[in-house]
Amino acid sequence: MGGNQTWITEVTLLGFQVDPALELFLFELFCLFYMLTLLGNEVILGLICLDSRLHTPMYFFLSHLAIVDMAYASNNVPKILANLVNLKRTTSFVPCIMQTFLYLAFAHIECLILVMMSYDRFVAICHPLHYTVIMNWRMCMVLAVTCWVFIFLLALVHLILILRLPFCGPHEINHFFCEILSVLKLACADTWLNQVVIFVACVFILLGPLCLVLVSYVHILFAILRIRSGEGCRKAFSTCSSHLCVVGLFFGSAIVMYMAPKSHHPEEQQKILSLFYSLFNPMLNPLIYSLGNAEVKGALRRALYKQRHM
């Protein structure tokens, strides 16, 4: 590298380049969405902890999903809100890189949690007699701990590969948070290794899990069609349809973002798609699971009934 190049110490997040009036509207809207995200996921988490009927592997993994959604939104959304109301949109480079690390970790862990939830439904519906043997609490804990450790190690690999690069400008990120593809554009060296690792990670963390989810639900669909009990069929379909909505929203936006060919306006496309899994997905997940799941709605009714008669 040339001797006249210097390392950057802070970057400017350009965010949404819109009129000030629209920025104020977006601030109020995103602030509302963020509060709904925290409230909805806290309600789901509270119901699972307090209602013994939800102490099952399915809701054990759902509690992890709620924790990830709150952490994921809290890693990205406050910075989005701050940039919408501040004229100075600079941030130090080290916190920016840490935000990238946490963003990758929480996004990856959500993929694996959705796979574990689909596997749980597959065992529960296709092999009900063996469910308690296969999905015992020891197995659930091992799966959860393994996923968390593996994903943070994978995010650490991304972080190390980023830190090996020299960053000498430009000082502007055309995004509303430190998303990895936007951060790599600041490097003044070849980022081919980073791009290869990102693509390989997408194959194993996005396409691989998505294929497993789809295979599981093909088997689940045939199993549901063989259920003779109308109540059992409705219960199975209620749980699985809510999970499929979450899977479609998350995997769909992520695959388009990282694996689809880039459009003529890739940066603007990235901002819009990033909103789906940074803001909308964490907000919609508890709504989908509460409105489309009979067991969660029943737990909410029981909690409200107890509160009313205390």
What's the CA gap between 70 and 203, in Å, rounded?
26
* More confidently predicted of 73 and 7: 73
Q: Is the pLDDT score of 291 beyond 70?
A: no
Q: Is the pLDDT score of 194 beyond 50?
A: yes
The CATH T-level fold of domain 10-304 is Rhopdopsin 7-helix transmembrane proteins (1.20.1070)
* More confidently predicted of 238 and 196: 196
Least confident range from 67-81, 120-134, 244-258: namely 244-258
Q: Is the pLDDT score of 143 beyond 50?
A: yes
Per cent of the chain over pLDDT 70 is: 88
pLDDT band at 237 (very low <50, low <70, confident <90, very high): low
**39-61 confidence digits (pLDDT tens):** 999 999 998 998 888 899 989 99
Q: Is the pLDDT score of 101 beyond 60?
A: yes
CA atoms within 13 A on the CB side of 16: 22
**252-265 confidence digits (pLDDT tens):** 878 877 776 655 44
Q: Is the pLDDT score of 94 beyond 60?
A: yes
Least confident range from 59-68, 108-117, 300-309: namely 300-309
**120-132 confidence digits (pLDDT tens):** 988 988 888 899 9
State whether the Cα torsion 20-22-25-29 is positive or negative.
negative
* More confidently predicted of 307 and 75: 75
| Structural contact between residues 219 and 31, judged by C-beta atoms closer than 8 angstroms | no
- pLDDT averaged over every residue in the chain: 83
The Cα angle at residue 284 between residues 131 and 128, in degrees rounded to 5? 10
State whether the Cα torsion 288-103-61-31 is positive or negative.
negative
Query: What is the model's pLDDT at position 261?
Result: 61
Least confident range from 27-31, 156-160, 167-171, 202-206: namely 167-171
Per cent of the chain over pLDDT 90 is: 27
Query: What is the model's pLDDT at position 105?
Result: 93
Least confident range from 20-29, 70-79, 93-102, 263-272: namely 263-272
> For the chain, what are the domain ranges?
10-304
pLDDT band at 181 (very low <50, low <70, confident <90, very high): confident
pLDDT band at 2 (very low <50, low <70, confident <90, very high): very low
Q: Is the pLDDT score of 70 beyond 90?
A: yes
Mean pLDDT, rounded, for 35-40 = 92
Q: Is the pLDDT score of 249 beyond 80?
A: no
